[in-house]
Structure 1
Amino acid sequence: MHTCLWPNNNQLMQTYHDEEWCVPNSEDQYIFEMLTLEGAQSGLSWSIVLSKRDSYKEAFHNFDITYCSKLTDADLEYIKVHNNVIKHFSKLQSVRNNAKVILKVQDEFKSFSNFLWSYVDFKQIVNNWDADTQIPAQTELSKQISNDLKKRGFKFIGPVTMYSFMQAIGMVDDHIKTCAYHVSNKK
């Protein structure tokens, strides 16, 4: 059985592929983590971001949404200097910004998860690609979600980032159809 090629024999990437990528998740804290990490990836490789994931968890108190919403610029500057995170200050500010917006979404929809998963009627989109090269970088749905999130005030959530995010939280299954982790091959 052939597997997805994108992990490229990188153990961290392979573990992420096998255990998290395209696995449906509805926990707001995890969803916030993936939104943060996908936003941090913008312009960089996913392997770089994954290698810094533990530092992000430490810096942002395991992605506690309320904690992150209260961070000051001084707090973020400290994180930038003292933690092994992406040093782009606007990306760090987006963590606080997005946490604040998530709290508003939670008030309105009971959870951030409910808001996001409603775009797919709470059912995972399952694709049947023959090769990694067929997987799109963005879709009409990722464009729509990106635009809707921008209107609510979210940052670093362009349509390409949003599609990767959809894969990260399992809204879409983009494992190639011969991969053991494709939903149709799981027992």
Structure 2
Amino acid sequence: MELGEVLRRRRMTREFDPDRPVPPEVLARVLDRARRGPSAGFSQGTDLLVLTRPADRDRWWAATVPGRADPGFVPDRWLRGVSSAPCLVVLLSSPEAYLDRYAEPDKGRTDRDAATWPVPWWDVDTGMAALLALLTAVDEGLGALLLGVPGDRWDAVRAAFGIPPDRRLLGVVALGYAVARPPGGSARRPRRPLSEVVHDGRFGVPWDGPAAR
């Protein structure tokens, strides 16, 4: 599929066919392309935790959704839809990988202080890995959804999966074959036009390029 077509087709999927697992060779391509995103200093501080076994996915939802393991818990429509995904890819970033890399001789930042990074590039780069996974999913005929992990659930997730304390949990990409459903509220929101998004020379001055007309 051409890149332009992939970009046009990319949507967040909120319901998956639980009876159609992602073929291993397809999942391998998604993961391989996710790791090929740029990273500052080529620090490569992204880890991907793959959950395809039902027991692993159940542990994920039990750790991230309060009350999920309680008897009588009834999931709402959103949770029923997203938890039907047969594959979850947890996105982890490592600040230490960047602090180590930038303390090397060719960078020379020996302070190793994360506070000196006004933008946490370990999270930015892991976000790029997430986008590559989302785009590859479209190219492979899959549906995909990026969702976050509430901060108050990080400890529970770390305990459930043995994730080291120095890793940040940026979110999870749910993968599978999409089940069509009517678009939700977010899907009905219009995309901002290029004339609003792009500023020409000074913030607030609309770009007057040909695509903006």
TM-score (normalised: structure 2):
0.22
Structure number having the greater helix percentage: 1
Mark the structure with the bigger radius of gyration.
2
